[in-house]
Amino acid sequence: MYRQLVAMAFSLFLPFQASAESPAPEGARHKIGYGLMFTNDLLGDGKDRWRTGSLTSSRIYGRDWQGQAPAGFGELLELRIQGQIIAPADLVAPDPTDRPWAGALTVELNSHMQRRGTEISLGAGLAILGPQTQLDEMQGWLHDLAGAPQPSAAVLNGQVANRVRPLISAEVGREFALSDRAALRPFVEARAGDETYLRAGVDFTYGQLSQGLLARDSVSGQRYRTMMGEATGLTLTAGADIAYVSNSVFLPDAAGYSLENNRHRARLGLRWQGQNLSAFYGLSYLGKEFSSQSEGQLTGALQVQLRF
């Protein structure tokens, strides 16, 4: 059963966004947006370790976009699917104090709302972990193509075991205009399931202000667009946040891992949009997640959208 679920989930990952949607009856719910974000530390510090790679896909369903999310719960829905690989720093002969290899596939349904200027996202889903995701086989195949070291049997034998965990999440934020080109958005976020944390942070935007619905990538913290606007040009983004983390299935207490309760992130990004093509590159600093982690890491995020 899990093999079929994994196959269906990855069939939803597409490299580009088609902004032209099929016509729908007036007032009917239909797909109004799509976004995809790729993260990899090879696009950052180039060291293929820890939060080493992820691919996140969002499909947005609702009635015609009116410039902001509706006020009602369930009126605007986001189906989000993410595949993520977490690895020790050495894929061949890992340090026993390093984190275990983990493959995770998450499927979430989020409702986006806006009430009196406050943006709210509430969601729930499932986190599927372990060899049943077949992400270990995928990494081995990709590394074989690239001529990179493949995870050894010792690494994969010690990976996070098969399990399925329910998860819930919420984010509340509010954007404040600093000028006609600059905006600041404080936010708070909570999550429970695969990881349990409470996070607070801020995002900054300068340039063509965000258009359409933005979703947040859980690994890098970068926000990615699910709709292409009409404005062209460059947009600079920046942000930082801190989280109190009380539990993580990726660092099981039973295996003797000591979780870093305070987790820090900082990020920069640049988006360019032309008439039919939009591209985003972001760089995120991810702080230490466990006590024996020697340092933080830099990971890159990439999004390409094509209108046709």
Express as a percent the part of the chain with pLDDT over 70. 90
Sign for the CA dihedral angle at 123, 124, 129, 133 comes to negative
Scan for tokens 């990179």, then name that residue. 148
Percent helix, strand, coil in the chain (nearest 5)? 10, 50, 40
Interval 296-301 mean pLDDT: 96
Q: Give the model's pLDDT for residue 67.
A: 85
Supply the mean pLDDT for the chain. 88
pLDDT of residue 33 exceeding 50, the answer is: yes
CA 130 to centroid of chain Cα atoms: 19
Q: Give the model's pLDDT for residue 19.
A: 42
pLDDT of residue 138 exceeding 60, the answer is: yes
Nearest to 166 by CA among 196, 124, 198: 124
Total-model pTM: 0.88
**Between residues 6 and 77, which one has the greater pLDDT?**
77
- Kindly list the domain boundaries of the chain, sorted by start residue: 2-306
257 within 8 A of 216, measured Cβ to Cβ: no
Q: Give the model's pLDDT for residue 6.
A: 42
CATH of the domain spanning 2-306, picked from 1.10.10.10, 3.40.50.10150, 2.40.128.140, 3.40.50.620: 2.40.128.140
DSSP state of 149: P
210-268: pLDDT as tens digits: 678 999 999 999 999 998 777 788 999 999 999 999 999 999 887 788 899 999 999 99
Interval 88-92 mean pLDDT: 91
pLDDT band for position 18 (50/70/90)?
A: very low
Interval 73-88 mean pLDDT: 96
Q: Give the model's pLDDT for residue 48.
A: 87
- Rounded distance, CA 306 to CA 225, Å? 12
The answer for residues whose C-beta is within 8 angstroms of residue 174's C-beta and 6 or more apart is: 117, 118, 119, 185, 186, 187
Tokens of 289: 């997640």
Q: Give the model's pLDDT for residue 9.
A: 43
Interval 43-55 mean pLDDT: 92
Quickly list H helices, the chain.
Answer: 2-10, 135-146, 153-157
Instruction: Identify the H or E element spanning 87.
Output: strand 77-87
Express as a percent the part of the chain with pLDDT over 90. 68
pLDDT band for position 137 (50/70/90)?
A: confident
Task: Give me Rg for the CA atoms of the chain.
Answer: 19
150-180: pLDDT as tens digits: 888 889 998 999 999 999 999 999 999 999 8
Q: Give the model's pLDDT for residue 132.
A: 95
Nearest to 81 by CA among 61, 115, 104: 104
pLDDT of residue 3 exceeding 60, the answer is: no
Task: Tell me the three-class secondary structure of 42-83, residue by residue.
Answer: HHCCCCCCEEEEEEEEEEEEECCCCCCCCCCCCCCEEEEEEE
- Rounded distance, CA 99 to CA 274, Å? 42
